[in-house]
Homo-oligomer: A and B are copies of this chain.
Amino acid sequence: MGVSGGLILSLEKHLDKILEIDTKNLIARVQPGVINKHFQNEVEKLGLFYPPDPASQDQSTLGGNVSENAGGMRAAKYGITKDYVMALRAVLPNGDIIRAGKKTIKDVAGFNVAGILIASEGCLAVISEITLKLLAKPKLRQSAMGVFHTIQEAMEAVYKTMASGVVPVAMEFLDNLTIKAVEERFNKGLPTKAGAILITQVDGSVPEQMAWQLSAIEGHFKANGCVDFKIAQTVAEEEDLWFARRNASQSISVYGKKKLNEDVTVPRASLPALLEEVGRISKAYNLPIPCFGHTGDGNVHVNIMLENPETQLEQGQRAMEEIFKCAIALEGTLSGEHGIGLSKAKFMPLAFSPEEMGLFRAIKKAFDPNNILNPFKMGL
C-alpha cells in the first residue's frame, strides 16, 4: 500500500482532528490523520453516516483512505471513498498549498484536481485537509445469509440479484475453503459442505422497504441454487451471520504459514468465470486458494496459501500472475482496494499500455517534477 500524504503528516504533527461536522449541509472537514472508525462513530452520534468501511477501518486514516480510494463492504450500495470526497487541501512538492473542490455537490470550475489526488498513493501531493460528504444514517438495517451447493451458483446469484434492481448495502461471499477454515477455528456450526455462502445486508427507512428487499433477494437466491436462506431477526443473530465473514482473513492461516493475498476485481457478471479460473489455477499449482470478499461490487480477495514459503514462493507468485491476467482478460483490474504501491508495481504493464504509463509519468512530473514524493510507487 502506498504511504499516504495523510500518514506522513500525521506521524509528525498528529493531524488527527475532526475540524467540523456541518449538520446543516451534511459535510465534515477533517485532518488526514483521523482514524476511519473513530470518524464513523463520531458522525453516527449525530445521526449521520459515513459509508466507506475498509477492513482496516480500526487502524487506517482518512488521509490514507483518500490516497488509496479505500472501499469496503458497503460499496455495493454506497460506493467508495471517492464518492464522498468533496474537497481537499494539499501541499504540492514545491511547497504550494492548494485547495481543490468545494463544499458543493456541483462544481465544474477548473480541473478536477481532487479527483486525481484520490488514489494517487501519495505520489502527487501531501493531503492536509479533507472535506467529506455525509449521509443521514438509515433507520433500519437487516442481514441475511444464503447457502449454495456450488460457488458457480452463488456467483450467478450475486450478479442476477444485483441486476434485478435490488441494491443491498453489502453482498459478501465466502468459498468452501474459507467456510471450512472458520469452522475449524471457531466451531460455529457453519455449513462446511457448502460451495459458498453469501451474506447480505439491506437498509432503509420503512419496514415495508426492508421486507421488499429481503423477499426479492430470497427469490433471486433460490432461483439460482440457494438451498438455505436465513434472515437475522435480532442484533445477536446478525452478529452471528457476519462472524464468519469478519473472521475469514485470520482463519485461512490454517492452510499455510504465508499468504499471498490480492484483491482483483471484475464486472459482477464475470465473477463465475473468475472463480472458475481461480479453481483451475489452484489445482494446476497444487496450492489452496481460499477466496472471500465483496462480490456485490465484483471485488474478490484471493489468498494463495503457502505451507513452505521458502520453496513455494515463486510458484505462488506465478499463480498470482495468472490470476491477474485472468482478471484483466475479464475487463477487471489489478486492484479494487489495496492499490499498487511497490509490491504490484511490476504488474502495471499487464494492465496499462506504454502510452498509458507515459501519461501517468507526465502527470507525476506535472505535480512533482523532482520526483520527491513516493518515488518508484506504481512503477513510475
Binding site for B on A (CB under 8 A): 22-27, 47, 68-69, 71, 75-76, 79-80, 82-83, 92, 96-100, 102-113, 115-116, 118-120, 123-124, 135-137, 159-160, 162-165, 167, 204-209, 212-213, 265-269, 294, 297-299, 331-340, 344, 348, 351-353, 355-356, 358-360, 362-367, 378
Task: Check B164–A104 contact: CB distance below 8 A.
Answer: no
Task: Check A24–B159 contact: CB distance below 8 A.
Answer: yes
A30 to chain B, nearest CB (A): 16
CA distance A30 to B119 in the complex (A): 26
Q: Which residues of B are found within 8 Å of A212, using beta-carbon distances?
A: 205-206
CA distance A102 to B80 in the complex (A): 15
Across the interface, name the chain B residue whose C-beta is closest to A362. B366
Task: Check B159–A104 contact: CB distance below 8 A.
Answer: no
Task: Check A336–B113 contact: CB distance below 8 A.
Answer: no
Asked, given contacts A99-B356, A204-B209, whether A266 binds B120 with beta carbons under 8 Å apart, the answer is no
Give 5 nearest A-B pairs by CB, closest first.
A136-B165, A115-B115, A106-B336, A24-B269, A366-B366
A213 to chain B, nearest CB (A): 8
Across the interface, name the chain B residue whose C-beta is closest to A23. B163
CA distance A107 to B331 in the complex (A): 11
The 21 listed contacts between A and B (C-beta, < 8 Å) are A22-B267, A23-B163, A24-B267, A25-B159, A26-B163, A75-B106, A83-B83, A99-B356, A100-B356, A105-B299, A106-B298, A108-B340, A109-B348, A110-B348, A111-B378, A112-B116, A112-B118, A115-B116, A137-B165, A165-B205, A362-B367
Task: Check A112–B104 contact: CB distance below 8 A.
Answer: no
Q: Which residues of B are found within 8 Å of A269, using beta-carbon distances?
A: 22, 24-25
Asked, given contacts A115-B118, A119-B112, A209-B205, whether A107 binds B22 with beta carbons under 8 Å apart, the answer is no
Task: Check A26–B96 contact: CB distance below 8 A.
Answer: no
CA distance A70 to B271 in the complex (A): 32
CA distance A363 to B359 in the complex (A): 11
Q: Which residues of B are found within 8 Å of A79, using beta-carbon distances?
A: 105
Q: Which residues of B are found within 8 Å of A116, using beta-carbon distances?
A: 111-113, 115-116, 363
Task: Check B163–A25 contact: CB distance below 8 A.
Answer: yes
CA distance A337 to B118 in the complex (A): 22
Task: Beyond A107-B336, A111-B123, A204-B209, list 8 extra A-B contacts (CB 8 Å).
Answer: A23-B163, A25-B269, A98-B359, A102-B265, A103-B331, A107-B265, A136-B163, A359-B366
